Amino acid sequence: MAPMTIPTEPIGSIPRPPELLEALATNDAFDPKLDDLYKDAIRDTIARFEATGSPVITDGEQKKYHNFWTYSVHGLPNTAPDGFTIPFQAGHSRRMPKLVSGPFRYRVYADQYLDVAMGYARVPVKQAVISPSALSLLYPADEVPGYSRAEFIDDLLNEHESEVRRCLERGAHKVQIDFTEGRLAIKLDPSGKLLNSFIDLNNLALSRFNPEELMRIGVHTCPGADCDSTHSADVDYAELLPCLFQLKARNFYIALSSEQDRVRVLKIIRAHMKPEQRIFIGVINPIDPRTETPEEIRDRVLEAAEHIPADRLGTTDDCGFSPFCDDTSTSRDTAFKKIAARVQGTALAWKIISGQSVVETSSST
């Protein structure tokens, strides 16, 4: 049976308020004197999120320390700063910490963000967490003395499972596993071996959850978004998507609006998606300064519905609006305008799909 509507969800991050960014620039992220600024930022973010009409929201990752990738390990005493480098096409890079001794433990679990957000929110809240495969890059090429890679992987899977379960138990609408390194893996290793190892590792984690839990777990893929640049948009989706759908998650959030040939990608999705999987297609490009119109969103959804059954279709943003907290290339105002357009455009599309109205296709998509 077709759904009452097409579900629409955000990915995660919203640009932080200037006063919070200023404080973070001169203070440790864990400094208690920042607590009020965090609370104000979260409260304002949730209020503005709900004002867009979004049926599902996030806390905007206002308190994720520094970025979506290393929030759980930022400041660990058994790490060094010279770890894996993420290169972006604009020429800049982001660097991960490197594990220098065991054991591996998270410093922060994402359920603490969820707990705060749910205290303010009046609609369902989802929580994004980082993938095991992303954090596997913490382990250096050379063996860590006294702590084998196998021991690290065991600890990593245990920590990830604990984080996801904590979020599910706190009442997260969905737990979204950020897998931006999937497309990047093909760029780093065109043979596909690195990607396959990532898929295998993430499936080891997903296999720890039962079918009911998996219904509330999703995977997000994108080519990155930082300072109006990507790290892997030049990688052909045809190299990623067939492998992506081997993951045991039930929900997939796939960046699409920024693709040059969306129909080709939709055909690949249709060919490889599994019967139990719902596909949330990206209809908003966070690094495009122009705000999409609801009519453009409507047309993108209708385009997708020609390839993905409406009862397995959802909409989302291509990526978060500020995955790295110091990225100010997009304003908070722009982010919320884009989210409102996504919500409105998705509703317009559902009216067409459900036969409630007819449409004159926009020529500006």
Instruction: Using the predicted structure, report yes or no on whether residue 365 has a pLDDT greater than 50.
Output: no
User: What residues pair up with 175 in beta bridges, in sequence order?
Assistant: 127, 217
Alpha helices of 52-148 — where are they, by DSSP H? 111-120, 132-135
pLDDT bracket for residue 219 (50, 70, 90): very high
Report pLDDT for 1. Answer: 40
Report pLDDT for 80. Answer: 95
Instruction: Using the predicted structure, report yes or no on whether residue 70 has a pLDDT greater than 80.
Output: yes
pLDDT bracket for residue 171 (50, 70, 90): very high
Q: Average of pLDDT values for 300-314?
A: 97
pLDDT bracket for residue 91 (50, 70, 90): confident
Predicted confidence (pLDDT) per residue in 126-150, tens digit: 999 999 999 999 999 999 999 999 9
Report pLDDT for 359. Answer: 55
- Upper half-sphere CA count for residue 215 (Cβ side, 13 Å): 3
Instruction: Using the predicted structure, report yes or no on whether residue 116 has a pLDDT greater than 50.
Output: yes
Report pLDDT for 4. Answer: 60
Q: What angle do CA 352, 353, 357 make, to 5 degrees?
A: 25
Predicted confidence (pLDDT) per residue in 339-364, tens digit: 999 999 999 999 999 987 655 555 44
Instruction: Using the predicted structure, report yes or no on whether residue 333 has a pLDDT greater than 50.
Output: yes
Q: Which domains does the chain carry?
A: 18-353 (3.20.20.210)
Report pLDDT for 358. Answer: 58
Element (H, E) at 20: helix 18-26
The pTM (predicted TM-score) of the whole model is 0.94
Q: What is the DSSP letter of 36?
A: H
